[in-house]
Amino acid sequence: MATCRPPGTRLIWRLKAVDFSRAGVRYTRNGNFQQSSDGRLVTAQGDPLLGDQGPILLPAGEISISADGTLSVAGALAGKLRIVDLPGTEVTPVGNSYMAATDKVRPASDTVVRQGALESANLDATAGIANLITVQRHAEMLARALSSFNRDFNRIADPGTGACIGATEG
């Protein structure tokens, strides 16, 4: 159960922390949800997910999620994911892919939820590491070339080394 959105758009799901009075509401983009043994819809860390009416409790049965985040179990309505936007809100990372918001949030519009899909990076990690190594090697090569140039330039320009520009014997 997750969401897929075009790159550059923001979608954050509202979560309830394990101890609501102590930790408060947290937000995440991680869509790896599951049903706990007591029927709650929870994150991979076991924190209950908030729906429009509070924590989501699901009866036993086959779960399906519509594009707007409505949850159904065996064809019966079971709840709706609370999906929010944080436009211009300062967000603070709090670990386990959770974030805390300092300002008010608003219900998200124009969102699409796709069951069975997990959002992933737009970059292949292996290719990214290979490119990073290539750029690092180029930077090291340029640093050595500049160092060599600087050393040669100082040797030529410094009269104390005995080297003179345009000097001839005679």
Q: What range does the domain containing 147 cover?
A: 125-161
**pLDDT value, residue 165:** 55
In a domain? residue 170: no
Q: Is 86 in the same domain as 15?
A: yes
User: Where residue 95 falls among pLDDT bands split at 50, 70, 90?
Assistant: confident
Buried b / exposed e over 56-95, threshold 16 CB at 10 Å, is: bbbeeeebebeeebbbbbeeeebbbbbbbbbeebeeeeee
Q: Do 75 and 155 sit in the same domain of this protein?
A: no
Q: Is residue 23 part of a domain?
A: yes
Q: Considering only residues 93 and 144, tell me which one the structure prediction assigns the higher pLDDT.
A: 144
Domain tally, the chain: 2
Residues 100 and 143 in one domain: no
Per residue in 39-48, pLDDT tens? 888 888 888 8
108 and 129 in a single domain? The answer is no
Residue 20 reports pLDDT greater than 90: no
Please tell me the predicted confidence (pLDDT) of residue 55. Answer: 85
Same domain (yes/no): 79, 13: yes
Give the pTM.
Answer: 0.57
145 in the same domain as 90: no
